[in-house]
Amino acid sequence: MHYCIIGNGVAGTEAALAIRSQDSSSAITIITQSAYHMYYRPRLIEYLAGDIKPENLYIYKPATYDEKHIEVLFKTKVIDIDTKNKYITLHHGSKIKYDKLCIATGATPSMPSIPGTTLQGVFSVRTIDDADAIINHINNTPDKKVAVIGGGLLGLETAYSLSRRGCSVTVIEFFDRLLPRQLDTDGAAIVKKLLEQKGLQFVLGDSVTEIVGDSSAQKVICKSGKQLEASTVIFSMGIKPEISLAKNAGIVVNRGIIINNYLQTSEPDIFAAGDPTEYNGICYGIWPAAREQGKLAGLNMAGARQEYKGTLLSVLLKITGIDLYSAGDFNKEGTKSVVHKTDSIYVKFLYNDVDPVAAIVIGDMNIIKLARNVMEKKAEIKELVKLFV
């Protein structure tokens, strides 16, 4: 048996380790375009801030792959999957035969089609190389004015990290509030105030239509007509599942690669996990989902038959120094609610008679811990509700 995995992010790596936990002898090959072993992508923000060294990003030591007899082909691109004859073609022309395949190709940053995105000083943050390029640019640019396009989780963390490097940072967000996917209006207003106290500036309800400069970025122009000087522009507008390889192979895709409860694609011997997948109409794009899917894909590839039931959509914001937790579906109807608000603390909890539905907690780590336990059903709803009723 030969197991092949395309991609060595958290989903691909966890798939390989899970396979090995069930099958001690079959060959496992990971093919990746990266030059690095799998690292903890969420900690890139700490690396960008200068808080940790590159070696602190890695979860598994290189020796782990040797000990588990997992072959990793670095700087190698898969250009084709032949689902009929069950082999993949690499960029240099060689082919690899597989018995079971996992597609864990990750995602790419979303970039708008506007003038100026190819200028020097324009970046996105997805990889170690991206972070290194931003650090090098800032260190060699006298003007420390930065525009971060996108007021979501990654955008805010990136903005705060660069402000700690002495940059003057303005965040431009299309919606009228920060973290529009995770917070309501009241919660977003508290976060904005706390971040302004930390030196960040914001332009809300606006978007960038052009980046201006000779060869390097000098300013951004907004739809409203507002112009901001910025020698560094960082786009943080979400990600797009990398599905082209699967699509070209005839595997069923929508926004992502469609997977069933066992992480199988439309081809029974081809599985998919992590950011490129779509499960029950959801493209998760979050680390916990990628890790869970990777483990279960590997177990199922090795014959364990363990069912995936979805991942709780949740975020924990901590790099900014603000304790923030958000989880669940705030648009669900027919729920009961609890709301508690002060100048620096905000709690909103939705629930029904049986299940927790959604939670926002800002400013209190003890309540965050309890809310997480309730949302993950490790604690009863009444334990959280009784704090405020």
All structural domains of the chain = 2-108+239-301 (3.50.50.60), 122-235 (3.50.50.60), 323-385 (3.30.390.30)
What Å distances lie between residue 268 and 246, 262, 300, CA to CA?
13, 10, 11
CA atoms within 13 A on the CB side of 166: 7
Instruction: Reply yes or no on whether the pLDDT at 96 is more than 70.
Output: yes
**Residue 141 one-letter amino acid:** T
| Residue-level pLDDT at 315 | 82
Instruction: Reply yes or no on whether the pLDDT at 352 is more than 80.
Output: yes
Tokens of 219: 């300013």
| Residue-level pLDDT at 208 | 97
E-assigned strands of 213-364? Answer: 219-222, 227-229, 232-235, 239-241, 257-258, 270-272, 277-278, 314-317, 324-328, 336-341, 346-351, 356-362
pLDDT band (50, 70, 90) for residue 388:
confident
Q: Report whether 131 contacts 165 (CB < 8 A).
A: no
Q: pTM for the complete prediction? A: 0.92
Instruction: Reply yes or no on whether the pLDDT at 102 is more than 70.
Output: yes
Which residues are CB-contacts of 82 (< 8 A; sequence separation ≥ 6)? Answer: 88, 89, 249
Sign of CA dihedral 191, 192, 197, 201: positive
| Residue-level pLDDT at 319 | 57
pLDDT band (50, 70, 90) for residue 318:
low
222-250 residue pLDDT tens: 999 999 999 999 999 999 999 999 999 99
Quote the CA–CA distance of 36 and 198 in Å, as a whole number. 34
Instruction: Reply yes or no on whether the pLDDT at 389 is more than 80.
Output: no
Quote the CA–CA distance of 18 and 24 in Å, as a whole number. 11
pLDDT band (50, 70, 90) for residue 353:
confident
Mean pLDDT of 303-323: 85
Instruction: State the Cα angle at 237 between 234 and 243, rounded to 5°.
Output: 115
Mean pLDDT value across the chain: 94
Percentage of the chain modeled with pLDDT above 70: 99
Higher pLDDT, 333 or 230: 230
Instruction: Reply yes or no on whether the pLDDT at 42 is more than 90.
Output: no
Quote the CA–CA distance of 99 and 312 in Å, as a whole number. 32
